[in-house]
Structure 1
Amino acid sequence: MDMDLLTIGKASTESFLKLGKNDSLCNALKELRKQKIDRALIYDDDSLIGIITKKDVVREIPIAKSKYKRIPISQLHLSSIMSSPVITLPYSTPVLKAARIMLEKNISSIPVTKDSQIIALFTKWDIANLMVESTDLVKDMATYPVKVIPKYSSIIYARRLIIDEGISTLPVIDDRNSLVGILTVDELTDALVDLINILAEGGSKEGLRHIGVGEIMRPFLPKVKNDDTIGKVATLILSEGVRGVVVVDESDRISGIITLTDLTKFFASKTFIST
C-alpha cells in the first residue's frame, strides 16, 4: 500500500456518532459506551459545530467549580463540554498530511468532507490500522521515560496528571513498582461521571479523593518488548481497544510506552515508498 498516495477518504471510519448540541452529556456517554467508541460529532441542526471526546470530558467535567455542585451530569449539555471550532479536511487529503495536521493542531480526529458533507471521521485509531503490518521495531519509537501512577493514588490526582501532561494512558504500579494495570481516559471518564452524580446529590467532594486508581484501572496488561514490531503494537491497540501498550525489559520492568499519539508521530515522520 502506497501511503504517500492513500487518502483519508479511503482510510477513515465511515460510521460515526452524530449528536445535537443540546443533548445531555449523560445520554451522550451512554451512547458512546453502547457503540464502544470514544467520540462524537456535535451538530446544530445540520451544521457541524463541535466534537466531543472522552478526553474532553475528563478535562472539562466540572469537579471543582462550585456553581455546578448541585447540577447532575444529566443536566449538562454537550455545548458546554465540546471542542470547537472543528477542523475538517476534504476526502482527497493524503493520510500523511492529515496525520501531521493532527499533531500540529493537537487533535485526535478530523471529519472528512465531500461535496460540503461530512462523510467520515479520520482518527488516530485509523492510523493504527494502517500500521498493523509495520516491521519497524518498538525500540525505534517507544516513549521514555514513562509517566506512571501508584494504584493507591486518587482518581482526582489521576485526572490532574492526565490534564497537565496531555496524555490519555497511565501505567499503574503497586508499592513495589510492579506493573499491575493501566488507566486510560475511558475508565476515568466512567468513574468521574458516576461520582460527580453522587456529588450533585449531596455527596462530599472529599470522598472523591479516597477512591483509588486501583479500583477503576483496567487489570489487563498489554505489554511488548523492544524487539517486537510496531505492527504487533498496533494490532494489540486495536484488538484490545486500548490507547497504549507498555514496553517492558527482560525482567518485566517498565522501560517505555507506545500510545496512539506515538504511532501517529511515527507514521507522520515516515516517507513511504510503494512496493
Structure 2
Amino acid sequence: MKVSDIMATNPQFVGINEFVTHAREIMRDYNYDSLPVVQDGKVAGMITLQDIINVTSTRSDVTVNGYVRQGVPRLTPDTPVKKAAFIIIRTDEGRVPVVDSGSRLVGLLSIKDIFKGLPELGLEDGPVSDYMTRRVVVCEPGDNISRVWLNMIHYGLTGLPVVSQREEVLGMVTREDIMKRGYVRIGRESDTGRSPSSVQYIMSTPAITVEEGDPMSKAAKIFMERNIGRVPVVKDNKLVGIIDRYDVIRACRALQGVTAK
C-alpha cells in the first residue's frame, strides 16, 4: 500500500503572502491544526495553529510568511505506507504534505489517514497500559471554556478528559466542541466572544474509555468506529492515562527498523 491509496486529495492550503487571519479562519472552519503553505506553486512548508494563536484580529496585515515551518517532511504518492507512518508520528504538525516531482502539492496525509492502512502495519496487540500516556492534562465540569481552550492550544491537544474531583472520568471536551458551539474564538479574541461558560454545557457524555488491561486492538477499533482521536484509560473507574491514534501506530510491528531515509 502506498500514500496515494490513503491520502486526502484537493487539500486546503494558503499562499505564503496571505494574511494569518485567513489561515486561522480555515483552521477554525475545518477544525485543522495545520495548513500547507504554497509559494510559486510549490510547497514552502506548514503553518500551525499554535504558531499563530497569539496574533490578534487587530493585526490584520500580518502575513503567513513569518510563521512558516520550512523543515517539515514531505511525502510522495509512491511512498510506502509504513515509511509514511514512521515519518508522520515524528512530526508536530499532525499532517504531512504530499508532493509531486516538482514539489507541487497533490495531497495531505494525516494520522487519521494512516489508520486506513492499519491492517498492513501489523498492530502489536499488547495491553493499553504499555503504550498510554500516564500524565494527563484534564479539566473539570465547572472549568471556564475559554481557559480550557487555551490549555488545549498550549499543550497541542485536540481534547481533554473531563473528570470529577475523585478523578472519575465524566466525559470529553474537544476543540471541535468548543468551536462549533461558538463559545470562544481562536486566539486572544477568546475573551471577546460569548459570556464565559463552563465545560459541563458542551462536554460529550457518557465517557468512552478503555481499561488499562484492554488490548490495543480495542482502542484502535474505537478510534476507527467512533472517529475520535483520544480515549481516557481507567482503572477501577478512575483515570490512569490516555491513549491516542499515535500510540496505536507506534505499537505496529511494521514500523520496527523503518527509517525516514
Q: Same fold (TM over 0.5)?
A: yes
- Letter matched to residue 211 of structure 2: K
1:231 aligns with 2:217: yes
Q: What is the aligned-residue identity percentage?
A: 20
1:136 aligns with 2:134: no
What's the TM-score once normalised by structure 1's chain length? 0.69
Larger fraction in helix: 1
1:192 aligned to which of 184, 187, 199: 184
Is contact 2:24–2:52 with CA below 8 Å preserved after alignment? no
Is contact 2:133–2:243 with CA below 8 Å preserved after alignment? yes
1:182 aligns with 2:172: yes
Is contact 1:7–1:94 with CA below 8 Å preserved after alignment? yes
What's the TM-score once normalised by structure 2's chain length? 0.72
Measured against aligned partners, the alpha-carbon deviations of 1:139-168 in whole angstroms (never above 9, x if no partner) come to 332222433222222334434543554433
Match of 2:145 in 1: 155
Report SS of the residue matched to 1:149: coil
1:8 aligns with 2:3: yes
**C-alpha spacing 1:252/1:41, structure 2 compared with 1 (3 Å):** same
Aligned-residue CA RMSD (Å): 3.7
Match of 1:170 in 2: 160
Higher RCO (CA-CA < 8 Å; seq separation 6+): 1
1:71 aligns with 2:58: yes
Is contact 1:58–1:159 with CA below 8 Å preserved after alignment? no
- Letter matched to residue 265 of structure 1: R
Is contact 1:143–1:257 with CA below 8 Å preserved after alignment? yes
**C-alpha spacing 1:58/1:183, structure 2 compared with 1 (3 Å):** farther
Instruction: Structure 1: state its 5+ residue gaps.
Output: 1-5
- Number of matched residues? 247
CA separation in 2, counterparts of 1:260 and 1:173?
21
Is contact 1:151–1:213 with CA below 8 Å preserved after alignment? yes
CA separation in 2, counterparts of 1:58 and 1:187?
18
Measured against aligned partners, the alpha-carbon deviations of 1:177-203 in whole angstroms (never above 9, x if no partner) come to 32122123333455431795575xxx4
1:256 aligns with 2:246: no
1:127 aligns with 2:122: no
Instruction: Structure 2: state its 5+ residue gaps.
Output: none
- Letter matched to residue 127 of structure 1: I
Is contact 2:3–2:109 with CA below 8 Å preserved after alignment? yes
Report SS of the residue matched to 2:246: helix
Match of 2:94 in 1: 108
CA separation in 2, counterparts of 1:236 and 1:59?
31
Q: CA deviation at 1:245?
A: 1.2
